[in-house]
Amino acid sequence: MSNTETTKTNPGNFFEDFRLGQTIQHATPRTVTVGDVAVYQGIFGSRFAVQSSDVFARKIGYAHAPLDDLLVFHVVFGKTVPDVSLNAVANLGYADCRFLKPVYPGATLSAVSEVIGLRENANRKTGIVYVRSRGFDETSDCVLDYVRWVMVRKRYENAPAPGEKVADLTKAVDPSQLGRACPKIDAAAYDNMLAGSPYRFSDYKVGEKIDHVAGITVEDAEHMIATRLYQNTARIHFDHFNESKGRFGKRLIYGGYAISLARALSFNGLANAFHVAAINGGRHVAPLFAGLTVFAWSEVLATADIPGRNDVGALRVRTIATKDRPCADFPFKRGEEYDAAVILDLDYWVLMPK
């Protein structure tokens, strides 16, 4: 090594660097401002009234307009990337994601993760890492708790696997755990006309399917701005020089970008689903790239009352996002295989006024 060479840069963790039970405190605390809200709004165009209007939010019981739930998710997720998925091949899925406290502009978010599962793939070039990540605000209150699993490259193919345990995952968040991030609201003060839809909790039935109609074309500049907004540093989203030589031949769009697009599109049909209370499970079925147009449709899987609350009810919703495929015929699976156009399968709970 010459006198000018250093080893101070961080290459990120490879699969063999993880250990079961390992706890990782992530850098960098992030104060989320109204500027961040404006950028997020400009990229995704979400129109839910509670997150759009201080006046509307205060009228029903919030201190003022909270941050979009998915903006909170992405910021916390972004904190974990340098330590968990800098060397990822793909982020595979989510489970047991619960929003635990309202988050408002000015809050400072940080994150901690625990490794709860490890599994080497048969090719011995990659492995699956399961982590439970928690986001905290400046008062040390947990605002978000979720599990994700990610496929991570090995540094050396012949390195021994650091462990073998597939994490136990809940199939769905119980309704009794919902609503902690939603204050008691004044449902009578909730203005359907201003919110954009006359349909409330009792108007939705199990099995109902909703085509969200519109499509949004993804642009390289927009997805890179969004991913930088969350301080997500995963190389595969930014480095065209190297990714042009990789298996896709181009940059891969952050999976959370598709989630936010689908959520924004869902306003047309679910406008009063003002709060994402939990994510039961999510799967990135296929990659998304710039130039493709995202469409979405949703199905109501279940409805539930929340113990002790008569102001809101919960809808369990499955939202399917597709690429270059309108959803009037609700594309999903053909037998056991997903339709070739499906990119996202997201199962989550939303709250609606009663």
Average pLDDT, the chain: 95
Mean pLDDT, residues 31-40 taken together = 98
| Rounded Cα distance, 322 and 288, in Å | 9
pLDDT at 5: 66
Q: What are phi and psi of 116, to 5 degrees?
A: -115, 0
pLDDT at 52: 98
Residue bearing tokens 């009063």: 272
The domain ranges of the chain are 15-160+169-353
Q: Is 261 helix (H, G, I), strand (E, B) or coil?
A: helix
77-118 pLDDT per residue, tens: 999 999 999 898 888 889 999 999 999 999 999 999 999 999
pTM for this structure? 0.94
Exposure of 131 by Cβ count < 10 A (0-12 exposed, 13-18 middle, 19+ buried)? buried
Residue of 78, 54, 43, 33 lying closest to 260 (CA atoms): 43
CATH domain 15-160+169-353 topology? Thiol Ester Dehydrase; Chain A (3.10.129)
pLDDT at 239: 83
Helix ranges (DSSP H) in the chain: 34-44, 49-52, 54-60, 69-84, 192-195, 220-229, 240-243, 255-265, 267-270
Mean pLDDT, residues 191-211 taken together = 98
pLDDT at 4: 63
Identify the residue with better confidence: 26 or 244: 26
pLDDT at residue 198 above 90?
yes
pLDDT at residue 3 above 70?
no
Mean pLDDT, residues 326-350 taken together = 96
Mean pLDDT, residues 326-352 taken together = 96
Residue of 345, 353, 354 lying closest to 299 (CA atoms): 345
pLDDT band at residue 13 using 50, 70 and 90 as cut-offs: very high
Residue 276, CA distances (Å) to 41, 144, 181, 182, 318 in order:
17, 12, 9, 10, 12
278-315 pLDDT per residue, tens: 999 999 999 999 999 999 999 999 999 999 999 999 99
pLDDT at 1: 47
The dihedral through the CA atoms of 176, 318, 111, 156 has a sign that is positive
pLDDT at 246: 82
* Pick from 1-15, 76-90, 168-182: least confident: 1-15
241-263 pLDDT per residue, tens: 888 888 888 888 999 999 999 99
* Biggest CA pair distance of the chain: 72
